[in-house]
Chain A
């Protein structure tokens, strides 16, 4: 297995984007068409409503726990860290001790933030006890 000799390495990605962009919607369209021909289409309210345990449901509020937002915030912090670390990891041997020391400093700064988030209870799922 060797590296490919080609001027346009991203052509394969383009082909797959195009293929999946055509094939999957076409499959779903076909399934929708077949389903409409064969299934019993009635518009009874209980059938058309969302899944509940029997009664006709009312519209439900779109509200989720604040905990999920905290995790999203933490994610932004640490994923940006990782994006900075990828180029450093590739050139790790070229950068030598200097690059390594700088990355250690960066990790230490982030660890301080991480410890702060931990102590503040951002990593606990609230009110379990």
Chain B
């Protein structure tokens, strides 16, 4: 066990910001490629070998576009809303163990930038605060599509937050701690949580998809219904910020699912722990794209109906059954 220095934490924070931003950018390329292969297309092929430099081309495009603010918009709120989305997504990652511990130039860099005892609660709270990004963006632009997108954002996020919280309660009861490091220790000695809590895993996955606006549930920017929802008036890098925030949130959900339900950093047969976690996160990320390619959109009323009448009662029943099983 090594002492954590301020310098180590700062290095960790910079690494989180740099690597997750880069992965978010690369994630767009991977998403386009995988979706293309699932639909028997080639996807981006022209910029660089196999379209690998597509990210650079997109970046140049985003940077050189005019930063457009429509006439009747509330300028200040319109300008800070994308920063809220991106910033909260990265602040949530500060309490998540993203890569394993390592030592560089004699400085110990911890696996988690901020080893706080309320771990999961902090991550959920920060992701919930991310709601203010799309909400303020939609309400500030004085556009009806934006307003409908903002209202849908609020309804979707608050409904599925209830489900996320309740689905994680049962694992918390079994572990008796909110810290993600304790969850990892629990997984070292017990069976994977996905086998002991299958219902909680499914509920968490569905709610996680809803909280990151992945496709079966991307009602807030559904092109066919509300032009682009909250992002209708955004262009250039401001729109890119929403994208970075969304991909960072996807990675957060993938890491949470890997650590809480899929065994975390434990060795997987001959695969060492650090590689196992990366494979699990990559699989979760791929699962999100796979679902996007496979499922159609849902209607908003079906979506609310699903959250309140099916998922929430199921989650409460799961908590009660878990309690009875632990007690007996």
A-to-B contact residues, CB < 8 Å: 1-6, 9-13, 15-17, 19-21, 23-25, 27-28, 30-32, 34-36, 38-41, 48-51, 59-60, 62, 64-65, 67-68, 71-72, 74-75, 78-79, 82, 85-86, 89-93, 96-97, 100, 103-104, 107, 111, 114, 118, 123-125, 128
State the main secondary structure of chain A at its contact with B: helix
Q: In the bound complex, what is the Cα–Cα distance between A73 and B126 (angstroms)?
A: 21
Instruction: Point out the residue from B71, B117, B316 that lies within 8 Å of A49, measured CB to CB.
Output: B71
- In the complex, the chain B residue whose C-beta lies closest to that of A92 is B173
User: Is B54 interfacial (CB-CB < 8 Å)?
Assistant: no
Q: How far is the CA of A16 from the CA of B232 in the complex (A)?
A: 29
Q: Would B6 and A97 count as touching, CB distance under 8 A?
A: no
Partner among B154, B172, B312 whose Cβ is within 8 Å of the Cβ of A68 = B154
CB pair A6–B64 under 8 Å, yes or no, is: no
CB distance from B231 to the nearest CB of A (A): 11
Q: How far is the CB of A36 from chain B (nearest CB, A)?
A: 7
Nearest CB in chain A to that of B174: its residue:
A92
In the complex with contacts A24-B86, A28-B82, A48-B158 CB distance below 8 A: no
Q: Are A74 and B237 in contact (CB under 8 A)?
A: no
> In the assembly, what is the distance between CA of A66 and CA of B121, in Å?
30
A28 touches B237 (CB 8 A): yes
Nearest A residue to B301 by beta-carbon distance?
A125
Given A3-B179, A12-B94; A51-B64 close (CB under 8 Å): no
The answer for the CA separation of A68 and B139 in the assembled complex, in Å, is 14
Complex: A33 Cα to B212 Cα, angstroms: 31
Contact B65 A35 (CB under 8 A): yes
Residue of A nearest to B86 (CB): A24
Residues of A within 8 A of B79 (CB): 28
B115 touches A6 (CB 8 A): yes
Of B4, B17, B159, most buried by chain A (CB within 10 Å of CB) is: B4
Q: B203 to chain A: closest CB distance in Å?
A: 13
How far is B138's CA from A62's CA once the two chains are assembled, in angstroms? 11
By the criterion CB–CB under 8 Å, are B71 and A3 in contact? no
Residue on A nearest B110 in the bound complex, by CB: A4
Given A1-B265, A21-B87, verify A107-B316 contact (CB < 8 Å).
yes
Q: Does B191 contact A (CB under 8 A)?
A: no
CB distance from A30 to the nearest CB of B (A): 8
CB-contact partner of A20 in B72, B87, B115, B147, under 8 A: B87
Q: Closest residue of chain B to A7, judged by CB?
A: B4
CA distance A49 to B233 in the complex (A): 10
Residues of A within 8 A of B190 (CB): none
B115 touching A3 by the CB < 8 A rule?
yes
User: Is B236 a contact of A2 with CB atoms below 8 Å?
Assistant: no
Partner of B66, one of A24, A41, A68, A86: A41
* CB-contacts of B66-125 with A (<8 A): 66-67, 70-73, 79, 82-83, 86-87, 90-91, 93-95, 97, 100-101, 110-117, 121-122
Q: Which of B63, B179, B304 contacts A34 (CB 8 A)?
A: B63
Q: Are B91 and A71 in contact (CB under 8 A)?
A: no
B289 CB-CB contact with A under 8 Å: no
Known: A12-B114, A15-B9, A60-B143. A2 touches B181 (CB 8 A): yes
